Structure 1
Amino acid sequence: MSIVVDVNRVSDVSQDENVYERLKKVAQDGDIERLYGFIAEDPEILGHFDKVPFCETPLHIAAEKGQTHFAMELMTLKPSLALKLNVSGYSPMHLALQANHIRMVRGFIAIDSSLVSIKGRGRITPLHHVAQIGDAELLSELLFACPSSVEDLTIKCETALHIAVKNHHFEAFKVLLGWVQRVNREDILDWKDEDGNTIFHIAALTNQTEVTCLSPFIKNSCSNTSLIMGQAG
């Protein structure tokens, strides 16, 4: 039996690998001048990444390495790279957050605020990630940049509020609570995760009284209890 080899296909694969290696190096170094040199040689060089559904782009590499200026330049040249997930299910925005490159995160949302809602592995968004680590200041910035992101759910039907409570991040929870009240979306407080629990159910189950006392249903009861205890003291 004879085997037919598609020479053109092999050539294309080899070319793509060469393109990737060249761009990988400039992304690691944050070398904007060399990037434009490659573009001058091949104006379609960044388009190679559109051919593959999931891949590590130069923007992923720059995000991991903290090459902020390079990442901003690249995102301006090829905005679609910011939407691409790598084979692990993460976007450049997710990787920047995981590496704690906050300046880059702010740069990303300044260019495209919708990236706050980009879904990665487990349908986790950047807002979910920040709720998980409990960075109240950054959480506030993301909410202002993309107000609708507060409605996003993980594959476990968790809101950012669920995640903040499950991770015992009270300050982050207060930011989220204040936001849903500000935008008249208190209905989100009643949303249940895959186990059928609202945020206040979870708080009660984990003895987070500071959270349960902020429930609109028992706030007065908490206030009265505090008053009685104060009088008793």
Structure 2
Amino acid sequence: MRALLFGAEEKSPEAERTLNRVIDMAFQSVEIYERLSMVAQDGDIEGLYELIAEYPNILEHFDNVSFCETPLHIAAEKGQTHFAMELMNLKPSLALKLNVSGFSPMHLALQNNHIRMVRGFLAMDSSLVSIKGRGRITPLHYVAQLGNEELLSEFLFACPSSVEDLTIKCETAVHVAVKSQQFMAFKVLLGWVRRVNREEILDWKDEDGNTVFHIAASMNQTETCSAAL
């Protein structure tokens, strides 16, 4: 390591001391974030505050990294709801971060079916319904794909503009529901766009030039086609 950092030739005592400080800081940093990862996995709120007392700026690091797994991602994946809410209260910006796979904490909570946590996120920041992850897929798109009608309704009421969000394939949540053959989810979305006078969304085309009704017809979804009449 010394050769890599300073070259193979002999260095002065001051250079050696500098190198040792760099190495010590690197190992200390790794240990700190390993401890933070462990308290997130365990949902250990007391442990979180002990770390903050030792290292008051420990959460600031994540603001300076574009894509990373934050302790909020870890808590979301593990279903540590109370820890996640405490952490989000301390550092709201963590909820906006994508990990290296392109997922936010909200996406991970949905993927792992931690619905209580999803609702907690929603209560703290309704705009998270529209956070764009991998493929520009939002939590609303994901719930439309799953066909969770109750959560879909909650998302729409919390963040009405989310119905306009498009994936990289130019799909609305309505497109996603129809392609996933989630008829009840489609009915919720249809009722919503009618309620807010945005029925023109039904005529929006995906990247292949298909509206939701073109897709429904091609998949022989007669119920979907009939619902619009």
Kindly indicate whether residue 162 of structure 2 is the aligned counterpart of residue 126 of structure 1: no
Question: Which amino acid in 2 is paired with 1:70?
Answer: F
> Residues 203 and 57 from structure 1, CA distance in 2 versus in 1: closer, same or farther, beyond 3 angstroms?
same
Deviation (angstroms), 1:38: 0.7
Q: Deviations over 1:184-214 (max 9, x none)?
A: 1111000000000000000000000001112
The CA deviation string for residues 28-76 of structure 1, in whole angstroms up to 9 with x for no partner, is 1100011011111111011111221111110000001100000000000
Alignment match of 2:113 (pick from 100, 103, 123): 100
**1:40 counterpart (45, 53, 57):** 53
The 1:9–1:173 alpha-carbon spacing in structure 2 relative to 1, beyond 3 Å, is farther
| Bigger Cα displacement from structure 2, 72-81 vs 34-43 | 34-43
> In the comparison of the two structures, how many residue pairs are matched?
215
Give the match for residue 73 of structure 2: 60
Using a 3 Å threshold, how does the CA distance of structure 1 residues 27 and 213 change in structure 2: closer, same or farther?
A: same
**Mapped partners of 2:171, 2:69: distance in 1:** 28
Do the aligned partners of 1:24 and 1:58 also contact (CA within 8 Å) in 2? yes
Shift of 1:18: 2.2
1:16/1:48 contact within 8 Å kept? no
Change (3 A) 1:162 1:41: same
Moved over 3 A (4+): 2-16
Task: Please tell me whether residue 27 in structure 1 is matched to residue 40 in structure 2.
Answer: yes
- Number of the residue aligned with 2:179: 166
- 1:55-204 equivalent positions in 2, closer than 5 A: 55-204=68-217
Distance of aligned partners of 1:11 and 1:49 in 2 relative to their CA distance in 1, 3 Å threshold: farther
Helix, strand or coil at the partner of 1:45: coil
Structure 2 residue runs of 5 or longer lacking an equivalent are 7-17
Distance 1:64 1:78 in 2: 18
How far is 1:14 from its partner? 3.7
Separation of aligned partners in 2, 1:173 and 1:204: 14
Structure 1 residue 175: Cα displacement: 0.4
1:209-224 matches, within 5 Å, as 209-215=222-228, 219=229
Alpha-carbon distance in structure 2 between the residues aligned to 1:69 and 1:108: 11
Query: Cα deviations across residues 85-135 of structure 1 (Å, max 9, x unaligned)?
Result: 000000000000000000000000100000000000000000000000110
Seen in structure 2, the aligned counterparts of structure 1 residues 206 and 34 have a Cα distance that, compared at 3 Å, is same
Give the letter for the 1:168 counterpart.
Q
CA deviation vs aligned residue, 1:152-205 (integer Å, no higher than 9, x gap)? 000000000000000110000000010011111111000000000000000000
TM-score normalised by length of structure 1: 0.88
* Alpha-carbon distance between aligned partners in 2 of 1:13 and 1:87, rounded to the nearest angstrom: 22
How far apart, CA to CA, are the structure 2 residues paired with 1:12 and 1:211?
61
The SS at the match of 1:213 is: helix
Query: Displacement of 1:9 after TM fit?
Result: 6.2
Closer, same or farther in 2 for the Cα pair 1:14/1:98, shift >3 Å? same
Write the letter of the residue equivalent to 2:62: F
